[in-house]
Amino acid sequence: MPNTKEQFEQVISVCRDIFEKKLKDYGPSWRIMRPRSVTDQLFIKANRIRSLEEKKVSLVAEGIRPEFIAIVNYGIIGLIQLNLGFSDSVDISSEKALDLYDHYMTATEELMFAKNHDYDEAWRSMRISSYTDLILMKLYRVKQIEDHGGQTLVSEGVDANYMDMINYSLFGLIKLDFGE
């Protein structure tokens, strides 16, 4: 039986490393993004994965793996933006951004382990393309929630949907890195 915690820690480490390097390149410039813009950025990444899965050919020298990493990192950015609100300027340090990244990644990982316990690692039997479809479905849900001013009657909010998208992306990365 694969060690889920170890595999998660390894793919999270890859995502965090990319996030940290981009912070060095750009700083937390994403602080100006409104939550709807983060959702649209996530949509672009998920849609590209689905396009590559269907076409089986990439004209840009990046495959599916970097897009899953981007979904993880933009998902965390989305959680930060939901909590702090957007800003008209870069208003936090890179160090603060990394602290927030770690905080929201820990919360997301804890959610995954709770669900993983209840679902008995059913994700391991799923196809990577199913993660893509679930991410896209979650994005359409988030867009609907955003169009309703963030209000839901019985459904989870935007934050829970972001967390699920992050976890589906981490599942995809585990399968890509460690095999089916």
Q: 3-state SS of the chain: helix, strand, coil percent to 5?
A: 80, 0, 20
- 3 state SS of 12: helix
- What pTM value is reported for the model? 0.94
Per-position b or e across 146-166, b if 16+ CB within 10 A of its CB:
eeeeeeeeeeeebbbbbbbbb
Digit-by-digit pLDDT tens for the chain (180 residues) are: 578 899 999 999 999 999 999 999 999 999 999 999 999 999 999 999 999 999 877 666 678 999 999 999 999 999 999 999 999 999 999 999 999 999 999 999 998 988 887 888 899 899 999 999 999 999 999 999 999 988 888 888 899 999 999 999 999 999 999 986
Name, in order, each residue with C-beta under 8 angstroms of 24's C-beta and a sequence gap of 6 or more.
Answer: 94
pLDDT of residue 115: 86
| Three-state DSSP state, 24 | helix
**Looking at the chain, how many residues does it have?**
180
pLDDT at 58: 67
SS3 42: helix
